[in-house]
Amino acid sequence: MRVWPAPKGLHIEPARPTDAVPLADLHKASFFRGWSADEFATFMQDKNVSCLVASNPRHQLAGLALTRHTGDEAELLSIAVARRWRSKGVGKALMEAVLADLAFTPAKRLVLEVDRDNKSALALYESLAFSRVGTRPGYYAGADGQRATALVLRLELG
Ligand SMILES: CC(C)(COP(=O)(O)OP(=O)(O)OC[C@H]1O[C@@H](n2cnc3c(N)ncnc32)[C@H](O)[C@@H]1OP(=O)(O)O)[C@@H](O)C(=O)NCCC(=O)NCCS
């Protein structure tokens, strides 16, 4: 059973096919370019993609983490925690569940991109011992029309 603990009475589990709309709502509330329910439905049909959610016992979603693995590399496609649940350890619990779940795949490392100005996300990844391995100038489009630099982070999986 793929269920992991999370703070505040939440738990982490795989998303359900019926979650596509709430996943899109959660994602749109966190990112300038939100993904649609159709995009989430497509991700959930991909056997190489794992979509984990933080939810309460009534399956109301507080967070999501989407990972794709190909061969020995996995990529964190997205992670988001609903605003009212942030800074309570939910993001960390999601990342720990991602890492536990990847143990069942051939992945040997997890990579991700993060806006170099995204302090909370960087704090989260650095608390998990990710290393900075590159930069991608102009990688993100922002609401203000400016382009932001992404840092590429990597974690070797044990
Ligand atoms: C990034 C995000 C997922 C973190 O989730 P969260 O539930 O708030 O994070 P947590 O409460 O689990 O905190 C994890 C670590 O980050 C630190 N942290 C969290 N928010 C922080 C902030 N605003 N400033 C500095 N550090 C912060 C915590 O202290 C904690 O470190 P610790 O375990 O060493 O104490 C959340 O802020 C979010 O959804 N942001 C919008 C979407 C986004 O930017 N996603 C990342 C894209 S790469």
pLDDT in tens, 41-75: 999 999 999 999 999 999 999 999 999 999 999 99
Average pLDDT score, the chain:
96
Domains annotated on the chain, with CATH: 4-156 (3.40.630.30)
Q: Whose CA is nearest to atom 1 of ligand 1?
A: 121
Q: For the residues 21-40, what does the mean pLDDT come to?
A: 96
For the CA of 82, the nearest atom of ligand 1: 39
3-class DSSP string for the chain: CCCEECCCCCEEEECCHHHHHHHHHHHHCCCCCCCCHHHHHHHHHCCCEEEEEEECCCCCEEEEEEEEEECCEEEEEEEEECHHHCCCCHHHHHHHHHHHHHCCCCCCEEEEEEECCCHHHHHHHHHCCCEEEEEEEEEEECCCCCEEEEEEEEEECC
Is the per-residue pLDDT at 27 higher than 90? yes
Distance 120 CA to ligand 1 centre (A): 4
**What's the pLDDT score for residue 141?**
84
Give the confidence band of 146 by pLDDT, cuts at 50, 70, 90.
confident
For the CA of 113, the nearest atom of ligand 1: 48
Distance 77 CA to ligand 1 centre (A): 16
74-91 per-position pLDDT tens digit: 999 999 999 999 999 999
For the CA of 95, the nearest atom of ligand 1: 12
Question: Percentage of residues in the chain with pLDDT exceeding 70?
Answer: 100
